[in-house]
Amino acid sequence: MKTRLNLLFASVALSAVLAANAIAQEDDPSLDISKRCTICHTKEEFKQKYTSDGTRSVYVDIVKFRKSVHGKRGCQECHDDISQIPHGKEVAKVNCIKCHNVANKIGAPVTEKYEQYENSVHGRAASAGNKEAPHCKDCHGTHEIRRPDDPASLVFKNNIPEDCGKCHKEVLALYKKSIHWKALSRGDSNAPVCTDCHGEHNILKPVENGSTVSSTNIVQTCSRCHADERIMSKYGIQSEQVDTYKESFHGIASEFGYITVAKCNSCHGFHNILPPDDPDSTVNARNLAKTCGQAKCHPGATENFTKGRMHVSANKKESGKIYWIKTAFTWLTILVMAGLVGHIVLDMFNKIKEKKKENEHHNKSAK
Partner 1 sequence: MSTTTNQPNNGSAIDQYIAAKILDEINRTIPETENKDAIVQKLCKTVKEDIESDIHFQIENLVREIQKERIKEVKRLAKEKEKAAEYFLPRFSLMFRAQHAIMFVSVILLVITGLPVKFHQSDIARLFFSITGGIQVTAFIHRIGAFGLGIVSAIHLFYIVFTKEGRGDFFQFIPTPKDVRDVIMNLKYFFGLSKAKPMFARFSYVEKFDYWAVYWGMVIMLGSGVLLTFETNAMNLLSKELIDIAKEMHSDEALLATLAIVIWHFYNVHFNPKKFPINMSFWTGKIRLDEMIEEHPLELKKLIQENKIDKSKIEKIRQLDKDFFKNVGLE
Residues lying near partner 1 in the complex (CB under 8 A): 249, 252-253, 255-258, 298-302, 304-310, 312, 314, 321-322, 325-326, 329-330, 332-333, 336-337, 340-341, 344, 346-352, 355, 362, 365-366
Contact (Cβ atoms closer than 8 angstroms) between residue 202 and residue 116: yes
Residue closer to partner 1 (CB basis): 31 or 346: 346
Contact (Cβ atoms closer than 8 angstroms) between residue 197 and residue 214: no
Q: Which residues contact 76 (CB under 8 A, 6 or more apart)?
A: 33, 34, 82
Residue closer to partner 1 (CB basis): 7 or 348: 348
Please, what is the minimum distance in Å from the beta carbon of residue 265 to partner 1? 20
Q: Which residues contact 121 (CB under 8 A, 6 or more apart)?
A: 203, 204, 205, 208
Please, what is the minimum distance in Å from the beta carbon of residue 291 to partner 1? 13
Residues across the chain: 367
Residue closer to partner 1 (CB basis): 200 or 247: 247
Please, what is the minimum distance in Å from the beta carbon of residue 267 to partner 1? 13
Paired residues of 224 in beta bridges? none
Residue closer to partner 1 (CB basis): 174 or 310: 310
Residue closer to partner 1 (CB basis): 59 or 305: 305
DSSP letters, 288-354, are HHHHHT-TTS-TT--GGGG-S-SS--TTSGGGTHHHHHHHHHHHHHHHHHHHHHHHHHHHHHHHHHH
Please, what is the minimum distance in Å from the beta carbon of residue 294 to partner 1? 12
Residue closer to partner 1 (CB basis): 202 or 241: 241
Q: Which residues contact 82 (CB under 8 A, 6 or more apart)?
A: 75, 76, 91
Please, what is the minimum distance in Å from the beta carbon of residue 247 to partner 1? 8
Please, what is the minimum distance in Å from the beta carbon of residue 284 to partner 1? 16
